[in-house]
């Protein structure tokens, strides 16, 4: 690996509070998905997907479909409606 191929150092102390908050927010969104979808071994049904706004679980299988979303600018939110919001 040459020097130009190396990634820059990211000192953890400089962003540890952001890391902790992001970890908690993704747990909130993931727990919602875990509770509202049929069980699949090893929690494979509780994945998060990257989209243009941040992270999403995709549409949930409920009467009124909801889409838990973590937007990197706003934090966790639940979008809901008769059709939900796509990932």
Sign of CA pseudo-dihedral 35, 36, 39, 40: negative
Please answer whether residues 72 and 26 qualify as being in contact, where contact means their C-beta atoms are separated by less than 8 angstroms. no
pLDDT, greater one: 40 or 78: 40
Within a domain: residue 67? yes
Within a domain: residue 70? yes
Number of domains in the chain: 1
Other beta carbons within 10 Å of 13: 6
- pLDDT band of residue 12 (cuts 50, 70, 90) is very high
Within a domain: residue 7? no
Within a domain: residue 8? no
- pLDDT band of residue 85 (cuts 50, 70, 90) is very low
Within a domain: residue 85? no
Mean pLDDT, residues 79-84 taken together: 50
Within a domain: residue 68? yes
**80 has a pLDDT exceeding 60:** no
Within a domain: residue 6? no
Mean pLDDT, residues 9-14 taken together: 91
Per DSSP, 31 falls in state H
Domain hosting residue 30, numbered range: 15-80
* 23-76 pLDDT per residue, tens: 888 888 788 788 878 888 887 877 888 877 777 777 766 654 555 555 656 655
Within a domain: residue 3? no
């Amino acid at each position: 690996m040459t020097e130009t191929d190396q990634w820059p150092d990211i000192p953890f102390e400089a962003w540890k509070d952001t890391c902790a908050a992001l970890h908690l927010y993704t747990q909130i969104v993931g727990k919602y998905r875990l509770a509202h979808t049929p069980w699949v071994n090893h929690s494979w049904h509780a994945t998060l997907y990257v989209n243009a706004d941040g992270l999403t679980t995709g549409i949930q299988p409920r009467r009124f479909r909801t889409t838990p979303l973590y937007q990197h600018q706003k934090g966790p939110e639940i979008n809901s409606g008769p059709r939900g919001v796509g990932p």
